[in-house]
Amino acid sequence: MTEEERSSRRYSEKEVGLILRRATEFQRSEPSAADPTGLTLAELQEVASEVGIDPAYLRRAAAELEVGAASGPWEQLLGAPIAFVLERTIPGELPESSFEELVPLMQAATVGQGNASAVGKTLTWSSRSDTNTSSQQVLVTCRDGETLIRVEERLAGFAGGLFGGLMGGGGVGVGIGVGGALGTALGSVAFMIAFPVAIIGASYGAARGFFAAHVRKRRARMQVLLDQLAERVERDVAERTLSPSPPSSP
């Protein structure tokens, strides 16, 4: 196969994976080569854009991966973090006159009642669910020629209600009540112990799986909000940069 034919050939998904893996092995074999063991999200987005993958989908996939890779003791126990933060920095400062345009996006993406406040070059949106199980805060701060967007959500109340309800009411209550009654009827102490343990374990597994799915859903929604805010900020900053400056008065 000539070089020209090789350049125009389309590779399948499996072949792309094999080529990238082999290229990494070649690079690692070079003593002076940089360590290719990992890529930053920005580098992944650059690669994705070159192969026609929308960077927004890549960021969403990375967010789901972070939720699945729970590392702390509470995250390991619950299956997902009880709070997460997403950030994006946009070159250029968003004019304060554009703050009002961002509020409807924040309001649509968060839950419960919320309120917005602007102090100086910072816009803050705070909201809380009606049942007080989750809270969100969105910050848009302009400083040093940049605009920082920060989205945070806390789900401790939701986790407490979910695990307490399923394990406390359903698991412990049903397990001990039914297990004790059946164990007594069967004359089996082992059953009286094993049945509640099994029910509590099943309740915990169900709560853990449901909580992880809920966190992934909320994080994906907040990622969409971050993308929408970033797109609006980038557009407004670009329009402000391209618009001619008003003539100076004599």
Greater confidence (104 vs 66) lies with 104
Q: What average pLDDT does range 90-110 have in this prediction?
A: 90
pLDDT digits over 20-59, tens only? 666 766 665 665 555 555 566 666 666 666 666 676 666 6
Q: What is the pLDDT of residue 75?
A: 73
Q: What is the pLDDT of residue 174?
A: 53
Q: What is the pLDDT of residue 164?
A: 79
Q: What is the pLDDT of residue 117?
A: 93
pLDDT digits over 187-210, tens only? 666 656 665 667 777 778 888 888
Q: What is the pLDDT of residue 2?
A: 52
Neighbours of 33 (CB within 10 A): 11
In this predicted structure, the answer to whether residue 102 has a pLDDT above a threshold of 90 is yes
pLDDT digits over 56-75, tens only? 666 666 655 554 444 567 77
- Whether the pTM exceeds 0.85: the reply is no
Q: What is the pLDDT of residue 25?
A: 63
pLDDT digits over 110-161, tens only? 888 899 999 989 999 999 988 888 899 999 999 989 999 999 999 989 888 8
pLDDT digits over 226-246, tens only? 999 999 999 988 887 765 555
pLDDT category of residue 9 using cuts at 50, 70 and 90: confident
pLDDT digits over 164-182, tens only? 777 666 555 555 555 556 6
